[in-house]
Structure 1
Amino acid sequence: MPLEFSAFLPAFLSPLTGLVDQGGPVVLLLLVLSIVAVALIAAKVIQFTLSGVGRHGAARKALHLWLDGRPQEAQVAAARSTSVLADIMLKLTKGASEPAADRELLKEDIERICVQRINGLRAYLRPLDMIAQTAPLIGLLGTVLGMIEAFQAMQGAGAAVDPSVLAGGIWVALLTTAVGLAVAIPVSAIVGWLDSRIEAEQSEMEALVTAFFTGAVAERGAARVVAMPVSEPRHAV
């Protein structure tokens, strides 16, 4: 009795039993990858929502208040939002308000925090990208194996080859490639969209941090730059 791979499917995927039985273990593997991809995509969407990706209003308001010489109001505006950029601005305004604040050290440390935030947003993008790249190859492998099996059967049948049986074996073999592409195309598109959101967030983060330290003199003219002492050069003893 041939092994029915649909028996390995969870209950909510029971409508796909025929597809799995026809495509075999390759289609089953592709369906498992699709479930993993959906779970990762859902996790990324939740992460982006909780991190306030794309919500820059509070951070921009805090920056303008800081440059206008209202540090307390800037901190209040930044604290009202839970977005990544608002948190960065809150740390900047608090750090710069310290009596012994060092401009260069603050800049280096906020760059470290920005890198950590961006790396956090990029988490799990690599597995998604790997699924998008490997799914078509897995489907192609299934097609090649199916074609080998079909032609072996044709060779064994000799002159009594039934074209309909051969055609059926070929289309079943091509089924795995179709499933692989069906998994890879949407995952690849979503990875590109997520990556573009991260790049936009990184660009806005760099712009706000730069404006904080430069005073946005190109836009504001006589801008206010918070005076912070610059650390003295350290001499070797």
Structure 2
Amino acid sequence: MTKLSVNINKIATIRNARGGELPSVTMAAVKLQEYGAQGITIHPRPDERHITRKDVYDLKPLITTEFNIEGNPHRPFVDMVLEVKPEQVTLVPDADDAITSNAGWDCRKHQEFLKSVIGEFKNAGIRTSIFLDPDPEMVKFAAETGTDRIELYTEAYAREYPQSPEKAIKDYYETALEATKYNLGINAGHDLSLENIRYFAEQIPNLLEVSIGHALISEALYLGMENTVQGYLKRLAKW
């Protein structure tokens, strides 16, 4: 079964809009795991506009499933991850002022930098994943960085899915096949939802994990958090 990791950034966004501690990101993480989520993802940014450094440390002892920390590997981020030691770190090349992640790595251009950073994490026993556009030709260069996994950036799939699922999935399928040749694990995330997740999971070989935040939290406003998590788990189950 493909694992579901829930990104709780949006919980922190709501909290920070009002100040104080409500809604609680730590309580959300605990409850999501009780409801069946198999991991918790956070993406702290330098301006702390949602997840803060304090959140990172507060969450660590509460994660009983898998802790995945995403971010651009600036030195402060790298040092924090090495101290916290989550099960997985996902490297994303987003600009400091980006509203959300909007591109994968050019692993050919940033080869030496990624090798160096990934080497630090692997020496600390932390599994690494790098955010990648659906481009089969980039997989070879991703593999050469030493990463354990790639995370497919799925915004284009989500955008094109309503018009043509077959067209939307094509580049992702080909990229996943290429990744399998290099023994890379495959994760995916960004704009996956209850509407489009089943088809994606059916079509992508060796899909190990999806990380879902914005859509899941939005859907939970109408369906409730537990029902929403269970909805994803049913769609990800092997059929």
| Structure number with bigger Rg | 1
- Greater helix fraction, Structure 1 or Structure 2: 1
Determine which structure has the larger strand proportion and give its number: 2
| Both structures adopt the same fold (TM-score exceeding 0.5) | no
The answer to which structure, 1 or 2, has the higher relative contact order (CA under 8 A, 6+ apart) is: 1
Q: TM-score, normalised by structure 2?
A: 0.22
